[in-house]
Structure 1
């Protein structure tokens, strides 16, 4: 999360922002808060924020964590529990792609159904109602989690990255943003832009490569000064020689 935030602030969607929270949405969820665009970000255990009292058991051992509902691992588990059928033996990326294809089949309308909830004649493939319902519930949990970030830090931007966040894409993020603004305080919620990161799946690697530069600039562009070496006193040298023999 920290290296993703560094990359997006320097070269991606965070450029020009005075403050931002960069969300890493992968198998789990995490975040990095950046209050100084040139300084290092601070990683947050955002995925272990409680969003439901006595809720689902999280892999950390607690109940009701955001990550128990919103990470790709939990999202796919909830789809399976609701009757969805992820491809047998598929990894998380493949399974999530299958879920999205079921919820938003190619050729379906923007919402996939007519006003009555049924697909109109000739509308093309019918979206999987189970997958859509799980995705919408996930969007609400994520939106509530983003609202907490907005209320706590009042960032100029919230950027969503990570392989799962990028795969879910703009259509899903628009629903998340709507829920976030509904749950957040009106003033900071109206001032925070919510968008996808722009550096793609390699953003974390880019951020890791920036860490030496961040440290260099934090020291004012100077090499760290070494303390002058002072010869050890004669008694200390003699004592060390005696112990060694």
Structure 2
């Protein structure tokens, strides 16, 4: 397993792979593919209702944020070799995971410094679907709803924002490999906890997280849906890292 703090990660983890999948940093050029996988994995949710343009911009800006990071599982195709430790133009994304070290600071950054890029896209969506404007106001409250779930406010925790795998490639361990890499990076950065929010009716996602050691700590309502906050104590990583598929 590769271990590097997210501030010093190499462009490509040549030794981190599951079968032919390489795990690399999530980079801006992955944004469109990440948005596509997000929409395929969670159709009809608030975020996917904002459209591919908004999601693509989010995943383009996330890796550049001081609080954002993530990883992509890619099939590098014919353009990769052992001597090419850089991104291949022929690679195909099989899955990705995104996270933040502070949901509140990330939202503030995107809503202030990056608002000029989001606003034209959001206005077009709000004109077509006015209901999305009301749902967007709830998003502002999200960091308050999940703050300090299940632990002391002084305990550093990262939040897993999204983890998606190509529907045709599920069950091959790609999700588990992405989660392991994320947890390893958090460990290196001195972050002992990983949080995630899951819709209460998303039984598949809940099983995935519970299978990998997450425990429910908090329930709340967002977008008129019941949500479950989960937390993983990352030091228990070795309990599940060798045998799980996802």
Structure-1-length-normalised TM-score: 0.28
More helix by share: 1
Q: Return the structure number with greater relative CO, CA threshold 8 A, min gap 6.
A: 1
More strand by share: 2
